[in-house]
């Protein structure tokens, strides 16, 4: 095995009362690609800073191979006194590094190099920081949320760039697809310690579930053992004093072990407060257009959004995704075309830029709007402490100022505020930012169970595949096209990535043949999205209920005298049976369609 480039041994660090890191071990060799996984607040970013030499632990050792170069990408880059983004990037070069590489990467990442760091956006700051750590071609790259604030074309470019490099990688990210495509081993930071497997992120979730299930079984055995020991001490043979004393000591040790056990952190309890159903038609846009000066943002776009649709909007930063959403929900009038909103629309939006939050206000004030100790969830008051716990906030954080919250905590707070409002239309702008993987899972389940309509902007490809039923993509010059299915389905239909402006047909017959032959290998593998999986799980129960309803109505109609005795009851039973038969037929057709699709995917 190759000697480690960097090695952390018995790393210990405590903030407050509970140890953040207790005996952490991490070793990274040349060319190794490690994804560092853990809940928000588990210490991932702190551990990466220790590996980079920026934070001194309370105990343990850090070894770096002599001559090895390390570059660390922080979540929030510090531009210092640099006057331009290029100057900031070039300041990260070492002796002998190529300045041309710095300019090349700045241009590849869509920057001119002349931007003033004081006025750059979050996405531009992230691009400059990436160029700074990539330009020296270091031996080890430590990347903390490298995809934050990046659009999909840049994320896909970054994937290709990192995949082509020989350096070792340690990556923290909430982007499942990014981790699956790049990682070869997984380090799971859980309750202050690291467990590691020599498999990439795609194997992590199944492995984690096995580990937690085994841990739960071990705790159950420990509880049983404590009960048995207590029973023996109470009712055992009292004459064997020495043995009794020894077993009493063992019992105390078992109790200490149980008392010191830190159970796994629970999952967030996300639930949207739902209003009454909207009309079947939610939004109808016909040939709407919007331009700013000579720049066309939306040109001749039409769509019909039905109740229950889940629509994802993707595209490069600056393409006009937010403008399109504002047009569709009526916040911004189109220059031309018509827009009609359906009946009984109750909308809740996620304020992604957090402009409405006062950083000096407390968590409880942000939850309640500064009105007492209760949050109005739907139409019912809930005590702020209970609602905070649903979103994984501790009771002690009630008075914490918002400026002290982590990115993940701010993300959960914004979700808590948005989901408290009764709605049948959810409009979410980058809802996955800074959320850990477990909270993402719960958010996906919540959106799957939500009976209303969802419109969301996201750069998370895996999240889009699991949640949405269609994807709207910019094709250049203000044109937007809706594709059925998730992000992967869109790519399969569109045939290319989002970095180009519009679909282009091959110019010659030979090119068409080559494109057709290459398409199966180029297109990502189709898989069931979240809604399809949910339907496969729930449709058998729905079918059974409908069959029971049909049998119930048939039993009533089997009475030959029912029509003469009670005409209304006969008509009601007939109508109910006809409706159930129609719904049963549709459910069986859908289930069969999904089963065939599942089998095709498994055999592919």
Q: Rg (Cα) of the chain, in Å, rounded?
A: 29
Please give the residue that has the higher pLDDT: either 179 or 349. 179
Residues 6+ apart with CB under 8 A from 376: 382, 420
> Is 39 annotated as ligand-binding?
yes
> Is 43 annotated as ligand-binding?
yes
Provide the b/e sequence for 243-274 (b: ≥16 CB within 10 Å).
Answer: eeeeeeeebeebeeeeeeeeeebeebebbbbb
State both tokens at 452: 């209303």
Q: How far apart are the C-alpha atoms of 127 and 106, rounded to whole Å?
A: 8
pLDDT of residue 42: 81
> Is 41 annotated as ligand-binding?
yes
Residue tagged 């009454």 (tokens): 276
Task: Provide the residue count of the chain.
Answer: 604
Q: Is 60 helix (H, G, I), strand (E, B) or coil?
A: strand
On whether the CB atoms of residues 31 and 166 are closer than 8 A, the answer is yes
On whether the CB atoms of residues 59 and 21 are closer than 8 A, the answer is no
Q: How far apart are the C-alpha atoms of 584 and 590, rounded to whole Å?
A: 10
> Is 316 annotated as ligand-binding?
yes
> Is 476 annotated as ligand-binding?
no
> Is 407 annotated as ligand-binding?
no
pLDDT of residue 328: 94
pLDDT tens figures, 348-403: 887 655 556 777 888 888 888 777 788 877 677 888 888 788 777 778 788 888 87
State both tokens at 245: 């004393």
Please tell me what DSSP assigns to residue 202: G
Q: How far apart are the C-alpha atoms of 149 and 155, rounded to whole Å?
A: 10
Residue 259 in this model has a pLDDT that exceeds 70? no
pLDDT of residue 471: 93
Q: Which stretch, 193-207, 265-279, 354-368, 579-593, has highest mean pLDDT?
A: 193-207
The dihedrals phi and psi of 309, each to the nearest 5 degrees, come to: -65, 150
Per-residue confidence at 180, pLDDT binned at 50, 70, 90? very high
Q: How far apart are the C-alpha atoms of 141 and 168, rounded to whole Å?
A: 6
CA dihedral 52, 44, 444, 343 (to 10 degrees): -80
> Is 356 annotated as ligand-binding?
no
Q: Which residues pair with 306 in a beta bridge?
A: 281
Q: How far apart are the C-alpha atoms of 114 and 460, rounded to whole Å?
A: 30
Residues 6+ apart with CB under 8 A from 215: 264
DSSP 265-317: PPPP-----B-S---SEEEEEEEEEEEETTEEEEEEEEEEEETT-EEEE---T
pLDDT tens figures, 379-388: 778 888 887 8
Residue 153 in this model has a pLDDT that exceeds 80? yes
Is the pTM higher than 0.85?
Answer: no
State both tokens at 428: 């979410």
Annotate 80-111 with three-state secondary structure.
CCCCCHHHHHHCCCCCCCCHHHHHHHHHHCCC
∠ at Cα 589 (587, 594), nearest 5°?
95
Residues 6+ apart with CB under 8 A from 123: 149, 150, 151, 154, 317
Residue 256 in this model has a pLDDT that exceeds 50? yes
pLDDT of residue 507: 39
Q: Which residues pair with 296 in a beta bridge?
A: 291
pLDDT of residue 582: 83
On whether the CB atoms of residues 419 and 274 are closer than 8 A, the answer is no
Residue 427: its H or E element: strand 425-429
On whether the CB atoms of residues 446 and 271 are closer than 8 A, the answer is yes
Q: Judge residue 474's burial from the number of C-beta atoms within 10 Å of its C-beta, 0-12 exposed, 13-18 middle, 19 or more buried.
A: buried
Please give the residue that has the higher pLDDT: either 419 or 235. 419
> Is 238 annotated as ligand-binding?
no
> Is 44 annotated as ligand-binding?
yes
Pairing between β-strand 470-476 and β-strand 479-484 as defined by DSSP bridges: antiparallel
On whether the CB atoms of residues 472 and 482 are closer than 8 A, the answer is yes
On whether the CB atoms of residues 62 and 82 are closer than 8 A, the answer is no
The alpha helices in 523-566, defined as continuous H runs, are 530-557, 562-565
pLDDT of residue 73: 95
- φ/ψ region of 543 (left if φ > 0, alpha if ψ in -120 to 50, else beta) reads alpha
Q: Which residues pair with 24 in a beta bridge?
A: 11
Q: What is the average per-residue pLDDT within 343-349? A: 88
pLDDT of residue 8: 94
> Is 40 annotated as ligand-binding?
yes
Looking at the chain, the number of H-run helices and the number of E-run strands are 19, 20
Q: How far apart are the C-alpha atoms of 237 and 232, rounded to whole Å?
A: 8
Q: Name which of 9-18, 145-154, 171-180, 234-243 the model is least confident about.
A: 234-243
Residues 6+ apart with CB under 8 A from 364: 373, 384, 388, 398, 399
Residue tagged 């990439």 (tokens): 200
Residues 6+ apart with CB under 8 A from 174: 145, 432, 433, 434, 435, 436, 437, 440, 460
Please give the residue that has the higher pLDDT: either 574 or 405. 574
> Is 318 annotated as ligand-binding?
yes
Residue 587 in this model has a pLDDT that exceeds 90? no
Residue 523 in this model has a pLDDT that exceeds 50? no
CA dihedral 191, 194, 196, 202 (to 10 degrees): 50
Q: Is 16 helix (H, G, I), strand (E, B) or coil?
A: coil
Q: Which residues pair with 426 in a beta bridge?
A: 348, 454
State both tokens at 302: 């039409």
Q: What is the average per-residue pLDDT within 111-133? A: 90
Q: What is the average per-residue pLDDT within 573-582? A: 85
Q: How far apart are the C-alpha atoms of 416 and 268, rounded to whole Å?
A: 10
Q: Name which of 17-26, 141-150, 167-176 the model is least confident about.
A: 17-26
Residue 522 in this model has a pLDDT that exceeds 70? no
pLDDT of residue 526: 54
Q: How far apart are the C-alpha atoms of 271 and 254, rounded to whole Å?
A: 39
pLDDT tens figures, 561-571: 777 788 888 88
pLDDT tens figures, 466-510: 899 999 999 888 999 999 988 988 888 887 656 544 434 333 334
Residue 515 in this model has a pLDDT that exceeds 50? no
pLDDT tens figures, 283-339: 999 999 999 888 899 999 999 999 999 999 998 888 889 899 999 999 999 999 999
Q: Is 119 helix (H, G, I), strand (E, B) or coil?
A: helix
Q: What is the chain's mean pLDDT, rounded?
A: 82
> Is 45 annotated as ligand-binding?
yes
Per-residue confidence at 596, pLDDT binned at 50, 70, 90? confident
On whether the CB atoms of residues 285 and 324 are closer than 8 A, the answer is no
Q: Which stretch, 75-79, 219-223, 597-601, has highest mean pLDDT?
A: 75-79
> Is 191 annotated as ligand-binding?
no
């Amino acid at each position: 095995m190759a000697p480690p480039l960097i090695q952390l041994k018995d790393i210990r660090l405590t903030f407050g009362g509970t140890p953040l890191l207790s005996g952490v071990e991490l070793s990274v060799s040349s060319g190794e690609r490690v994804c560092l996984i853990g809940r928000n607040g588990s210490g991932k970013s702190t551990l990466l800073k220790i590996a980079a030499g920026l934070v001194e632990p309370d105990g343990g050792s850090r070894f770096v191979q002599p001559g090895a170069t390390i570059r660390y990408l922080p979540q929030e880059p510090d531009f210092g006194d640099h006057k331009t983004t290029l100057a900031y990037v070039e300041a990260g070069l070492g002796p002998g590094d190529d300045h041309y590489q710095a300019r090349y990467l700045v241009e590849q990442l869509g920057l001119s190099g002349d931007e003033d760091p004081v006025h750059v956006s979050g996405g531009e700051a992230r691009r400059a920081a990436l160029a700074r750590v990539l330009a020296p071609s270091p031996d080890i790259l430590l990347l903390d949320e490298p995809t934050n604030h990046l659009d999909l074309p840049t994320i896909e470019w970054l994937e290709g760039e990192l995949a082509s490099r020989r350096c070792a990688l340690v990556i923290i990210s909430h982007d499942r697809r990014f981790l699956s495509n790049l990682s070869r081993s997984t380090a799971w930071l859980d309750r202050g310690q690291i467990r590691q497997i020599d498999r990439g992120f795609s194997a992590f979730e199944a492995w984690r579930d096995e580990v937690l299930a085994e841990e739960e079984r071990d705790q159950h055995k420990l509880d049983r053992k404590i009960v048995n020991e207590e029973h023996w001490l109470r009712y055992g043979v009292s004459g064997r004093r020495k043995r009794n004393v020894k077993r009493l000591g063992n019992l105390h040790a078992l109790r200490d072990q149980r008392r010191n056990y830190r159970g796994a952190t629970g999952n967030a309890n996300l639930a949207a407060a739902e209003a009454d159903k909207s009309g079947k038609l939610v939004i109808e846009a016909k040939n709407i257009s919007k331009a700013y000066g000579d720049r066309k943002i939306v040109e001749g776009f039409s769509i019909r959004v039905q109740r229950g649709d889940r629509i994802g909007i993707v595209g490069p930063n600056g393409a006009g995704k937010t403008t399109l959403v504002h047009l569709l929900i009526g916040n911004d009038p189109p220059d031309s075309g018509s827009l009609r909103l359906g009946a009984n629309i109750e909308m809740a939006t996620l304020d992604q830029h957090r402009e409405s939050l006062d950083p000096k206000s407390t968590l409880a004030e942000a939850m309640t709007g500064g009105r007492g100790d209760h949050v109005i969830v739907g139409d019912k008051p809930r005590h702020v402490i209970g609602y905070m716990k649903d979103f994984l906030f501790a009771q002690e954080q009630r008075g914490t100022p918002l400026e002290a919250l982590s990115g993940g905590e701010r993300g959960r707070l914004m979700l808590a505020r948005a989901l408290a409002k009764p709605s049948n239309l959810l409009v979410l702008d980058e809802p996955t930012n800074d959320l850990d993987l477990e909270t993402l899972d719960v958010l996906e389940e919540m959106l799957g169970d939500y009976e209303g309509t969802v419109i969301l902007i996201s750069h998370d490809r895996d999240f889009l595949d699991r949640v949405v039923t269609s994807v709207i993509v910019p094709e250049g010059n203000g044109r937007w096209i809706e594709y059925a299915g998730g992000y992967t389905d869109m790519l399969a239909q569109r045939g290319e990535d989002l970095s180009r402006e519009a679909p282009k047909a091959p110019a010659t017959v030979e090119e068409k043949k080559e494109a057709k032959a290459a398409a199966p290998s180029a297109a990502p593998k189709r898989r069931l999205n979240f809604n399809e999986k949910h339907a496969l799980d729930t449709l058998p129960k729905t079918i059974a209920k409908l069959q029971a309803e049909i049998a119930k109505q048939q039993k009533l109609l089997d009475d030959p005298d029912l029509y003469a005795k009670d005409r209304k009851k006969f008509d009601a039973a007939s109508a109910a049976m006809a409706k159930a038969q129609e719904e049963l037929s549709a459910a069986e057709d859908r289930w069969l369609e999904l089963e065939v699709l599942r089998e095709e995917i498994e055999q592919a």
